[in-house]
Amino acid sequence: MHHLLSSLLYRLIIILYGAFIVLTHDNIIATPFYAILPFVYAPLFILLLGKEKWKYWRLLLDILVVAAVLYGKAPLDNTCFVVALFPLISSIAHTGSHAKYWPILILTGVLLIVVDQQVIPTHLIVAFLVWLAGVQSWYNSQTNKFLSTTVGHIDDYFTNNDGTKKPHEIYKNIIAEINSYLECGYLKNIYSYTLDANNTLWLVNSSEFMWVRTLLLDDKAIAKLKEKRYLLDKESCSRFFLVEQNDFNYVYRCEFDPNYMRLNFRKGYVVSYVLELAFGRMSTLLASEYRIAETRRKAFEETKEHIEYVSKALKAMHFVRNKLSPISSVITFYSDMDTMDAEKVKKMEERVKKEVKQAKGDMSEIIKTANFLLDKQNNPYSGADVETKNIKFLFVILSEIVQYHLGGTVEVSEEIQQFEQRMVVRVSTMQLKLLFTDIVSNIERHKSSGYAIRMDAKDDCLVVSFINDIGISQEADCNNLLRDINNSNNEGIVSRKSHGVYNIKTSASTMGVELKAEIIGEKKNKQYVLRTSFKMFEDNGNNNSNDGNKDTGD
């Protein structure tokens, strides 16, 4: 479409400029006759429109129209000469297709010779130079096209357009692109490294698998690479590119076929230029991948801690079981004593005394083990890292959970939205997520008709209410739930079908959040309401509480 529009505009310019020439110059035939020209030109042009292979015919038509305008105006003045160059300039405008071809230059030369009827060398030289500029711009556009497709392979990684899943697969596409430009397989492999403080190159990734993860260059080569950001190593037929990205120095090594060194200068230059820009982009990708890997490593460390804790807990339980043997023997003896004869009791009692001593020691070891498990510092799950957070942070966390589980939103009262001061709550991000997820997923599982989740301010508390409509069949269940939530001790909740009440209560009590459940409404319109109250404080500005729009730490 863009192509067609520029093509039409260009023809309009030929007609207008032609009219200008006709009106300002003496003409060989009566001026009004020239008015016919556009009416011949336009239909013929439309006839030739559409097909790519007819472009030469369209160009010939342009030249014929220009010839008709110029004919009989010899010797050509400058304004006339310019219109003679129009077809040549047009081919420059349509870069990428026919600027390269000699025929246009020859036709323009023929046109000049025919209309001028005498050969003016300067005119021909100017025409040649204009053509040369066209050829140059064609090459530029080719380079830009080459550059954008090559760099495009890196962008495709982000959108996974071409199924690239691992960054190193991008190199294969880049290599294919470069080699198709060079029209042979000169580029063998691409390796990327990071340069550390000791001038060792550490492999990041590469187009082929590498067993050797480091590369050492001599100091001179490193110094040159750092200075020029480019290095040619003839011995290994490699070109090195250095890209600085944040705190990293990424170094890319391109391994070429030995024949590459004999390549013509222009192509070699273009390839280096494209590679340099592609590697600039690649470095952004590698740096972001590094950040992601870092986050994963952190998550793994956390998981590792959790796994270790669970296996420690299991080991502790085995330890407790093992240590209970003496206590069990003592108890058995005193329970069975009455059924034994006196002599046996005497003998046994003597031995049991020893066993009591053993049991005493074992018991204190059992208690020590239990204390270890109960100590919150040893428990990576306790998540007791309570921090001061803006209420917006709480809103964002809750909204994300509600959106994910229920596809719904959280209603926030006007009062909260209009708080003038920055209000904060004391929460642990992990416990907060656990608490809200447990409650919201209960709604997800058990909701009957409607639900609502609201944030209100009441006294000095931020109250988040979870309101769920109750079906008649759910009433008994809800009454149990109500009792469990409002009950101050947790006994019996762990084992029963309890809608995760134990977890909800644990998370809430860790953060000092008050839980209150009630059933409101009458008969068919009953609703189960669970309120969680967070104590609110005015932000005194001393804490680095997170805003709602900050990363929620996933």
Partner 1 sequence: MIEDMIDTIRGAFELAAISEFNENMSFIFCPRSQDVDYGSINDFALIFVDIELAKGSKEDGFSILRRLLNERHYPLNRTIILTGNTVVNEKLEENSIDPKILVVKKPVNYDDIAKVLKERIKLSPEGEYYLI
Give contact residues for partner 1 (rule: CB under 8 A).
318-319, 321-329, 331-333, 336, 340, 344, 347-348, 351-352, 354-355, 358, 362
Angstrom distance (rounded) from CA 225 to CA 220:
9
Buried b (16+ CB within 10 A) or exposed e, 340-363: eeeeebeebeeebeebeeebeebe
Comparing C-alpha atoms, which of 445, 452, 438, 449 is closest to residue 401? 438
CB of 367 vs partner 1, minimal distance in Å: 15
Nearer to partner 1, 54 or 333 (CB): 333
CB of 495 vs partner 1, minimal distance in Å: 19
Nearer to partner 1, 103 or 361 (CB): 361
What's the burial of 447, exposed, middle or buried (CB within 10 Å: 0-12/13-18/19+)? middle
Nearer to partner 1, 120 or 320 (CB): 320
DSSP-derived secondary structure letter, 470: -
CB of 316 vs partner 1, minimal distance in Å: 11
Work out whether strand 214-216 and strand 230-233 pair parallel, antiparallel, or are unpaired.
unpaired
Work out whether strand 423-427 and strand 200-206 pair parallel, antiparallel, or are unpaired.
unpaired
Comparing C-alpha atoms, which of 443, 439, 448, 464 is closest to residue 514? 464
Nearer to partner 1, 255 or 362 (CB): 362
Nearer to partner 1, 339 or 542 (CB): 339
Angstrom distance (rounded) from CA 255 to CA 253:
6
Nearer to partner 1, 27 or 329 (CB): 329
Angstrom distance (rounded) from CA 332 to CA 47:
111
Angstrom distance (rounded) from CA 111 to CA 81:
10
CB of 356 vs partner 1, minimal distance in Å: 9
CB of 347 vs partner 1, minimal distance in Å: 5
CB of 344 vs partner 1, minimal distance in Å: 7
Cα distances (Å, whole numbers) of residue 263 to 174, 296, 342, 508: 19, 44, 109, 71
Write down the number of H helices and E strands in the chain. 16, 13
CB of 510 vs partner 1, minimal distance in Å: 30
- Give the list of residues 6+ apart from residue 385 with CB closer than 8 angstroms, or none: 428, 429, 430
CB of 162 vs partner 1, minimal distance in Å: 45
Nearer to partner 1, 38 or 326 (CB): 326
In degrees and rounded to multiples of 5, residue 422 shows phi and psi of -80, 115
480 forms beta bridges with none
What's the burial of 496, exposed, middle or buried (CB within 10 Å: 0-12/13-18/19+)? exposed
Nearer to partner 1, 277 or 356 (CB): 356
- Whether 426 contacts 511, CB under 8 Å: yes
Nearer to partner 1, 222 or 359 (CB): 359
In degrees and rounded to multiples of 5, residue 335 shows phi and psi of -75, -35
CB of 529 vs partner 1, minimal distance in Å: 43
The token duo for 129 is 């130079």
Nearer to partner 1, 143 or 329 (CB): 329
CB of 378 vs partner 1, minimal distance in Å: 22
In the chain the first and final C-alpha atoms are separated, in Å, by 46
- Whether 200 contacts 194, CB under 8 Å: no
CB of 244 vs partner 1, minimal distance in Å: 52
CB of 359 vs partner 1, minimal distance in Å: 8
Nearer to partner 1, 327 or 386 (CB): 327
Nearer to partner 1, 358 or 474 (CB): 358
